[in-house]
Structure 1
Amino acid sequence: MISLQFVITSLLVVLMPGTGVIYTVSSGLFKGRKASIAAAAGCTAGIIPHLSASILGLAAILHTSAVLFQMFKYAGAIYLLYMAWGTWRDKGGLSFKAQDDHKNLFHIAKRGFLINILNPKLSIFFLAFLPLFVPHDASSPTIDMLVLSLVFMWMTFVVFVIYGLFATVVRHQVVHSPRVVGWIQRSFALAFAAFGLKLAMVEQK
């Protein structure tokens, strides 16, 4: 059921730097190990609705409904631009003090969840991606897609955690340089803005 081709293809997809990776890395870099894991968990949880929609066939509705697609698209773009603006203008929020309390970690995970759930392209991607690896003679294709979805989610979480933990390793090398901190902060802001604008220009296919 789980082919080597699926594992390799999924790994390549997950490794590609995207909004979730940028958010997880920024969380690890500025807020510590637990924050990076919370961000990874939130981003991974954000793909659950898309995977579920693909399994249930609801993504087909999103694919054919221009109005629904535009609503999701612009909501996601606006949220990413909001994050870009907040990151750019934040003068004290990007400190290197670990935020380990449950409230802050939940907030970090929630933002990661919203980043992914507001991207309508994910539903369409999974609708086209998962069926490619389900055998034509499968007795229960829904179960096969569910298993593939769980594997993809697990790979996403592991890879994102690795990205985030790597960021925590290098965070102490820049903590004493306000100029580097400011440069990194603005780089993340520009990255969020770029992803937001890119999402806003996406056309329905």
Structure 2
Amino acid sequence: MIPIETISVFFAASVALALAPGPDNIFVLTQSALSGRAAGLVVTLGLCTGLIVHTLAVAFGVAVIFQTSAMAFNALKLIGAAYLLYLAWQAFKARPSDMTLGANGKLTRRKLYLRGVVMNVTNPKVAIFFLAFLPQFADPTRGSVALQMVAFGAIFMLAAFVVFGAVSWASGFLSEWLRHSERAQVIMNRVAGTVFVGLVARLVVTQR
């Protein structure tokens, strides 16, 4: 059994790491502002679902491939960059009427959820980060290391959900203003598109 002291330290570290500015925070912020708090929470659920993939990858050693294979790392990085470019293109071409969630069927909760999943799973830095971070808290003398990794991954997901959920709730106030101003909607869509392009640039220059 993992000591409560270790869990407490790990949770605090996870919250601090989730609060650090990064692609996931920005993604939740922009989507919440564009489509409202509920949309932000759906994206947050998608991001946390992606963390399940990284947790299992680390627990069963798959993530080692991305640490030792430049080809695998670059392939996943290019997939993530391509998806972000697709989101940027959608944001730049969006009309003000596209802002309302469910109004025209273009921003369903399912699509927002899948955006969150893909955004997280295709970020190779998350896989490498989990590979470097989770093992630091595991103790082989306390049982299966793989199960401990899964437990720590679940705790990290909880911390991420709390932080990203707070971000989506706070940024949701922006959506109330955006829904009443077409000019503001256009500006925000341009900002969102620019943010996505910036994330692509950051991802492309990321090294293992």
TM (norm. structure 1) is: 0.89
* Separation of aligned partners in 2, 1:24 and 1:158: 12
Q: Structure 1 regions of 5+ residues with no counterpart?
A: none
1:181 aligns with 2:179: no
Task: String of CA shifts for 1:135-194, please: whole Å, max 9, x gaps.
Answer: 353322222211111111111122212111112223223433333322222222111111
Distance 1:56 1:93, change over 3 A: farther
Name 2:102's counterpart in structure 1: 99
Name 1:196's counterpart in structure 2: 200
Amino acid corresponding to residue 70 of structure 1 in structure 2? N
1:31 aligns with 2:57: no
Please, which of 94, 97, 103 is the counterpart of residue 90 of structure 1?
Answer: 94
1:156 aligns with 2:150: no
Which stretch shifts more, 131-140 or 156-165? 131-140
Q: Structure 2 regions of 5+ residues with no counterpart?
A: none
* Separation of aligned partners in 1, 2:97 and 2:118: 20
Give yes or no for contact 1:54–1:123 (8 Å, CA) kept in 2: yes
1:41 aligns with 2:45: yes
Name 2:131's counterpart in structure 1: 127
Name 1:165's counterpart in structure 2: 169
Give yes or no for contact 1:49–1:117 (8 Å, CA) kept in 2: yes
Residue correspondence of structure 1 range 61-80 to structure 2 within 5 A: 61-80=65-84
Distance 1:64 1:133, change over 3 A: same
* Percentage of pairs with the same residue: 29
Distance 1:104 1:175, change over 3 A: closer
Count of equivalent residues: 202
* Separation of aligned partners in 2, 1:148 and 1:93: 42
Structure with the higher helix share, 1 or 2? 2
Query: In the TM superposition, what is the alpha-carbon distance from 1:93 to its structure 2 partner?
Result: 5.6
